[in-house]
Amino acid sequence: MPSPAFAAQVRGRSFKPLLVQPEASLPERNFIAHVGRWASGKAAEGQYVNASIRNDRFALVFPAKGPSELFDLKADPMQSNNVIADREATAAGLLKDYDAWWADVQPYLVNEHVAAPLQNPFHLAYRQQYAGPGPNGVPPPKR
């Protein structure tokens, strides 16, 4: 059994209702994706960069450059028609939920000021295992 502190961080959902009663439905919830790459100590500048929040119907997207976009996933699954001007209240609701999530995760950015390793440990392990060029054909660093 996880500790209460750990359990509070986990946002899973049980599929048990679907196993017991296949015609049951699960409550709607948002899904948030964030690339999470920014310069050390500059998390606030990355809040609305390469991120999105979506529910069963809409996706609010924060591209790397340019304004936010809202897509109706039911009517436009390829996300080619930005409907943010027509659905301002929907965008505002998703933005409010996204901002609440962002505020909630700030205490967990515990490595925000940790210096990056000189070499990517995964690349180093690859080179040690195969003794050849690393990912993308990049040769190992000279020692």
SS3 content of the chain, % helix, strand, coil (to 5): 35, 10, 55
Distance between CA atoms of residues 135 and 143, nearest Å: 18
For the sheet with 51-54, list strands across it: 31-34, 51-54, 58-62, 69-72
N-term to C-term CA, the chain:
47
Q: Domains in the chain, please, with CATH?
A: 29-135 (3.30.1120.10)
For 83, which DSSP code?
-
Which has more confidence, 112 or 29?
A: 29
**How do residues 99-123 score in pLDDT, each as one tens digit?**
999 999 888 887 777 887 888 888 8
Under the banding of pLDDT at 50, 70 and 90, the label for residue 143 is: low
Q: What is the pLDDT, as a whole number, of residue 95?
A: 98
Pick from 107, 138, 93, 108: which is nearest to 120 by CA? Answer: 138
> Does residue 124 or residue 141 have the better pLDDT?
124
Tokens at 101, concatenated: 């999530």
Measured distance CA(108)–CA(34) in Å, rounded: 14
- pTM value is 0.72
Query: Most distant CA pair in the chain: distance in Å?
Result: 62
With pLDDT > 70 as the criterion, what percentage of the chain qualifies?
92
Residue predicted with more confidence, 34 or 109 = 34
Distance in angstroms (rounded) separating the CA atoms of residues 87 and 75:
13
Confidence of residue 135 (pLDDT cuts 50, 70, 90): low
Q: How many CA atoms lie within 13 A of 74 on its CB side?
A: 4
